[in-house]
């Protein structure tokens, strides 16, 4: 996607160094963060310098490749396992992260020599990132078929190209339709407590020239009641075998509101986000983040500096679950790289078990 007219991916690797767009500084500053080690990349994931299911997965794959590149020959396998444990511990809810670690680790372990393992790990990480970008583009093509001129779409959090290697999931259909000349309007929730909608989605849509407006999270219900929203599209961090969806906190509330007002509620996600080992939403681990994210806000001060200020009383405490579970019964369809998918177990199982080559040809 374009930033000031220049094409970028969200995350990539150059000479063993992981490069990523520093999302903690957006929308006020655009910078590229360089991570030289597996540990640095893992911290970037944990501290949300890079975030979003697909981007986390790609970054985790590259971090695993870094662990393979730096592992000493004398304790090669042990160093790989240590690196994998460190990466897995960063963000427990995002399934793409675990898929990426396993894929790169398996490629390295299967190689006949240490030198071959290092090359295989880098190749596997690069292929995983490419697959993520292709999946995003394909999701865009599939989802664009649901959109028509004049539609008003609500989205939550950030599931655009900053959340993927490219294109995104929830925003990919909007970008695809917009490029085809379909006039759409997007309502962007601010997405407290970290304000990914205000800081990232709003910025992304402006870069792409998509008409949109930022709204408070609490305004969504009123807009739905007034008939001003024609559809809701969100992304996902993990989808259980039965179709229950883990996504940014607040997603469940929007799904309930959409159902109450008979507005379609779509979840856009690639196959790597579906977790067949989780039978339902109760089996998905929900990350709880530090209370300071709720008690404080950060932004651009009048003097042009980025500052953090506390908004709650000094003695206050906060509960900060990063995700919630939306039952499959509230999902209209999944938008995937292979087409629209019914939110039920048999359809999901067939999709997850389809040979990779078939999905690649479809995408």
Q: Which residues are known to be catalytic? A: 237
Nearest to 213 by CA among 223, 51, 221: 223
Q: Which DSSP symbol is given to 80? A: H
Instruction: Tell me the C-alpha to C-alpha distance, in Å, between residue 222 and each of 137, 195, 218, 229, 265.
Output: 32, 20, 8, 10, 16
R_g (Cα) of the chain, nearest Å:
20
Cα(33)–Cα(122) distance, rounded to whole angstroms? 19
- Return d(Cα 293, Cα 22) in angstroms, integer: 18
Q: Which of 143, 139, 127 is nearest to 58 (CA)?
A: 127
User: DSSP character for 321?
Assistant: B
Q: Residue 346, CB half-sphere, CA atoms under 13 Å: how many?
A: 0
Rounded alpha-carbon distances, angstroms, from residue 36 to 10, 18, 70, 101: 17, 7, 10, 18
What is the SS3 string spanning 251-305? HHHHHHHHHHCCCCEEEECCHHHEECCCCCHHHCCCCECCCHHHHEEEEECCCCC
Q: What is the DSSP string of 85-123?
A: HHHHTT-SS-HHHHHHHHHHHHHHHHSSSHHHHHHHHHH
CA distance 270 to 288: 24
- The answer to whether the beta carbons of residues 338 and 362 sit under 8 Å apart is yes
Place of tokens 């209370």: 291
DSSP letter (8 states) at residue 14: E
Take residue 247 and report the two structure tokens written for it: 């996504």
Which pair of tokens denotes residue 207? 């870069």
Beta bridge partners of 233: 266
């Amino acid at each position: 996607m374009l930033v000031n007219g220049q094409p970028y991916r969200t995350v990539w690797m150059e000479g063993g160094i992981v490069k990523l767009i520093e999302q903690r500084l957006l929308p006020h500053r655009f910078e590229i963060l360089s991570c030289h080690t597996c540990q640095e990349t893992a911290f970037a994931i944990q501290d949300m310098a890079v975030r979003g299911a697909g981007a986390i997965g790609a970054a985790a794959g590259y971090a695993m490749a870094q662990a393979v590149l730096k592992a000493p020959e004398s304790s090669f396998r042990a160093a790989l396992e240590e690196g994998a444990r460190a990466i897995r511990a960063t963000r427990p809810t995002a399934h793409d992260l675990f898929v990426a670690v396993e894929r790169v680790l398996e490629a390295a372990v299967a190689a006949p020599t240490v030198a071959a393992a290092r090359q295989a790990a880098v190749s596997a990480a690069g292929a995983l990132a490419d697959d993520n970008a292709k999946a995003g583009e394909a999701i865009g093509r599939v989802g664009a078929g649901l959109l028509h001129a004049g539609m008003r779409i609500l989205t939550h959090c950030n599931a655009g190209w900053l959340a993927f290697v490219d294109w995104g999931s929830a925003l990919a259909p909007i970008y695809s339709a917009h490029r085809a000349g379909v006039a759409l309007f997007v309502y962007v929730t601010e997405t407290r407590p970290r304000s990914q909608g205000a800081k990232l989605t709003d910025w992304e849509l402006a870069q792409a020239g998509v008409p949109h407006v930022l709204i408070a999270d609490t305004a969504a219900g009123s807009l739905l009641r007034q008939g001003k929203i024609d559809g809701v599209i969100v992304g996902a961090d993990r989808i259980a075998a039965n179709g229950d969806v883990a996504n940014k906190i607040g997603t469940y509330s929007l799904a309930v509101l959409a159902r109450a007002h008979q507005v379609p509620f779509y979840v856009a996600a690639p196959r790597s986000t579906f977790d067949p080992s989780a039978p339902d939403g109760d089996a998905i681990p929900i990350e709880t983040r530090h209370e300071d994210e709720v008690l404080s806000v950060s932004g651009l001060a009048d003097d042009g500096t980025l500052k953090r200020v506390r908004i709650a009383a000094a003695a206050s405490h906060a509960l900060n679950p990063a995700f919630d579970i939306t039952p499959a019964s509230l999902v209209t369809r999944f938008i995937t790289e292979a087409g629209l998918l019914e939110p039920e177990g048999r359809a999901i199982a067939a999709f997850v078990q389809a040979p990779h080559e078939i999905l690649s040809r479809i995408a």
